[in-house]
Chain A
């Protein structure tokens, strides 16, 4: 009988999985606080005021009916929002208006004072249309307004629900709100008359709204709608800051393309335990963003361990999969809503302070998360960073020759590597990729055979730079070597014993399948720089940021579904390591940065492993990014 009961309980319990999380190293990584400026996640000095603007005729929400402080015109969003006749009919019945008469409704938190203040517009994403999403950013509104920003959380609930062709509309509506604001600030008697600093505009979006910010940046610079050139654009706002919160990417492709984005400051944040957009899609627009105009810009990506999709919106919370998310998603793994939102406040607040208030003291937090250890909620973060002085040496996207970099003057060689190839970086969903290639490098120093202590020489991977290239890049004491690295969980087999005919370039390794790594062995490697006179300077990679194997991620309660829905129980997210050459000079004073010739990864600190390497380059970044450093 007991066995039957046990079987019944097991059967009814289904194949649920125990809570599996990577060992938390945040106590070490985030032990220090190096930025001394006020915490951007804490309220500032301004008194906060609040109002709503909108149609004034909304049938469902009093906030946009009786209590609007400013009435706005309706806009025809039909060129940008595709829906079937039945959907159009249903929506008109639900909302009382059709998409040709879309209202411009928003909740506004703003600082008391004469201004002018930077204006930030935030667009929510897809959710139950009747569970209104726009109030969910009040916590950001309160914070940002207290710090001297105007935040407008715009209403796009009327394009939420089952639509699939509305993402262009989300972007266009965002820009139409900015048009409405232009009228507000030009109208004497309006509460916002002359209160907006039009040189400092930010746009933010969450989920599909986060995908829409990329479209909005594009539309803002275009004269016509790419999918219907009869529709003219004339926006040209000075958008300086773009924030994508757990964004989608590619649901809408202007003219059928994943659009390139240029010359904006960009922040993307994403949770490892996102139960809706369960892969780091936002890394793709991050990667597509280019700085081409010679101006000062930077981009920053934060992958937040144990954060979900919805807790950055107080309405959505932990219902990433609808009201019954607890049936499907393993909610035990999640940060508390307060922790997750505190992270959002710190990083978004710091980003907007740096980009719209030009508070340069916040710039280092984007170069190195360890500068704000006391501000960040205790979890693990993987960060990407690049600023406009970055000059590429190798991103592995230009050709199929593994011995050349991405620009003339860079040659690449490998020694004793068990694995050396270039391939796309996958995302978690099968058949989805980050749309960028990387170098995959594996090593194992152990020599196969009965002597388990036998070791070969450390494997290495080397970039050799030509004189002319180094000269043209103005390499010097203030230059930093930049690279992004993600260790994987694979460990190649040991090398075969010497004496065979294997060449030097690639050690012969045991052909057995790779073994999954033992996480108890720390991962690290040495970065070696060599100048033209052969002076060497070596530092461990871990000096410049946390080096971790992939973070164990199980989003679903059912182990079998987790296996079928995802390619890996982790996302490969390379961590960016900015490595100031000055740090190398400190340990090897004879090393001359201006005569840099070789950048070498020496795999001598962990006996075996595999890494994914991308975006190798040099940067003469603004000194404000550098101090303080660990």
Chain B
């Protein structure tokens, strides 16, 4: 198996990449369906085995081995903005992580906001917020973790806040990490004229370790997710890095995905790391409109 099979998986995902079936199932808040990591976004938003603090938005189990702090911002057209902060610290043999995501956008619907509305100009000033706190610990070679989250969404004058839970499990194999997580398990959000389910989803993915290929380092990641309403999305991407000095490297990344609602099929990005600092840029294509740009910093 090892390396070859993982690359085969990425290629298969690429071959099958297409826009997922248009969603017919209303979900809220919108912010809970958006990317949490710049590096991951550049690789089709696949980060189930990530090792940076923003993995809290993908698989809380990986907090056990995550490091540093992350901040990023994604700009959609018409000024819609997603901002993300996360950090972690060791606690009681495991690791505690916290994360915050904030979204400001405008919505056309007063019921729920669809991802297709990002980057469009709607009549209703809207926002979303996630406050997440997670803890992870290693056990019998596995890592297990859970998040407690507060989800908030405001569309026009209607606002609601709900709690939600995430849980994750991960395991190192084939010099990489396999991860499984379930996100956004919690009560429906009230909207202007009813209730909308949280975007509960189950994710299964793999993140490879780094493989040396001459002067380059190669790595890859892939994720498949089933979203409430039986929408299946998947994506995978790769990263090529070059280091010329211990602690310094430049990276190029690309990903393809079977896209969820509002998303386009491909992503790309670059990064530069200088000792404890890493600056990343990612671009994601959007369905039917200009793509979104994301910039993030990671501090080890």
Q: Please report A residues at the B interface, Cβ cutoff 8 Å.
A: 11-14, 16, 323-324, 327-328, 556-558, 560-561
Contact = CB atoms under 8 A, between A and B. Distances in A.
Given A12-B244, A12-B248, A14-B248, 9 more contacts: A14-B275, A323-B212, A324-B212, A324-B215, A327-B243, A327-B246, A556-B246, A557-B246, A561-B247
Nearest to B215: A324
B22 interface: no
Nearest to B277: A11
B18 to A, nearest CB: 39
Given A14-B274, A323-B212, A561 B246 contact: yes
B274 A328 contact: no
Contacts of B243: 324, 327
Nearest to A327: B246
B274 A558 contact: no
Contacts of B247: 14, 558, 561
Given A11-B274, A12-B274, A14-B275, A557 B245 contact: yes
Contacts of A323: 212
20 contacts: A11-B274, A12-B244, A12-B248, A12-B274, A13-B245, A14-B245, A14-B247, A14-B248, A14-B274, A16-B245, A323-B212, A324-B212, A324-B243, A327-B244, A327-B246, A556-B246, A557-B246, A558-B246, A558-B247, A560-B275
Contacts of A561: 246-247
Given A14-B274, A14-B275, A327 B245 contact: yes
Contacts of A556: 246
Interface string B261-300: 0000000000010110000000000000000000000000
Contacts of A12: 244, 248, 272, 274
Nearest to B248: A14
Nearest to B249: A327
A13 B245 CA distance: 8
Interface of B: 212, 215, 243-248, 272, 274-275
Q: Interface centre among B212, B245, B272, B274, by most A CB within 10 Å?
A: B245
Nearest to A325: B246
Nearest to A560: B275
Given A12-B274, A14-B274, A14-B275, A328 B248 contact: no
A328 B246 contact: yes
Nearest to B243: A327
B215 to A, nearest CB: 8
A13 to B, nearest CB: 7
A408 to B, nearest CB: 54
A76 B277 CA distance: 49
A90 to B, nearest CB: 12
A557 B244 CA distance: 11
> Which 6 A-B pairs give the minimum distances between C-beta atoms?
A328-B246, A14-B245, A327-B246, A14-B248, A327-B243, A327-B245
A327 B248 CA distance: 9
Nearest to B245: A14
A333 to B, nearest CB: 16
| Most chain A CB within a 10 A radius of its CB, from B215, B243, B246 | B246
A14 B212 CA distance: 22
A587 B73 CA distance: 82
A558 B244 CA distance: 12
Contacts of B274: 11-12, 14
Contacts of B215: 324
Contacts of B244: 12, 327
A558 B212 contact: no
A143 B288 CA distance: 74
A561 B275 CA distance: 10
B2 to A, nearest CB: 12
A11 B276 CA distance: 13
Contacts of A560: 275
B188 to A, nearest CB: 47
Nearest to B246: A328
Q: Which of B212, B215, B248 has the most CB of A within 10 A?
A: B248
A40 B49 CA distance: 58
A359 B215 CA distance: 49
A328 B244 CA distance: 9
A16 B272 CA distance: 17
Contacts of B275: 14, 560
A16 B274 CA distance: 12
A605 to B, nearest CB: 43
A16 B246 CA distance: 10
A4 B274 CA distance: 17
Nearest to B214: A323
A324 B274 CA distance: 17
A496 B84 CA distance: 63
A14 to B, nearest CB: 5
Give the interface centre of A14, A16, A560, A561 by most chain B CB atoms within 10 Å: A14
Contacts of B212: 323-324
A84 to B, nearest CB: 12
Contacts of A328: 246
A173 to B, nearest CB: 29
A560 B276 CA distance: 12
Nearest to B244: A327
A384 B275 CA distance: 40
B211 to A, nearest CB: 13
B300 to A, nearest CB: 14
A97 B1 CA distance: 23
B108 to A, nearest CB: 41
A518 to B, nearest CB: 32
Contacts of B248: 12, 14
Contacts of A557: 245-246
B239 to A, nearest CB: 17
A11 to B, nearest CB: 6
Contacts of A558: 245-247
A324 B245 CA distance: 9
Contacts of A327: 243-246
Contacts of B245: 13-14, 16, 327, 557-558
A328 B275 CA distance: 12
A131 to B, nearest CB: 13
A327 B249 CA distance: 10
Nearest to A8: B272
B274 to A, nearest CB: 6
B298 to A, nearest CB: 16
A530 B245 CA distance: 58
Contacts of A16: 245
Contacts of A14: 245, 247-248, 274-275
A8 to B, nearest CB: 10
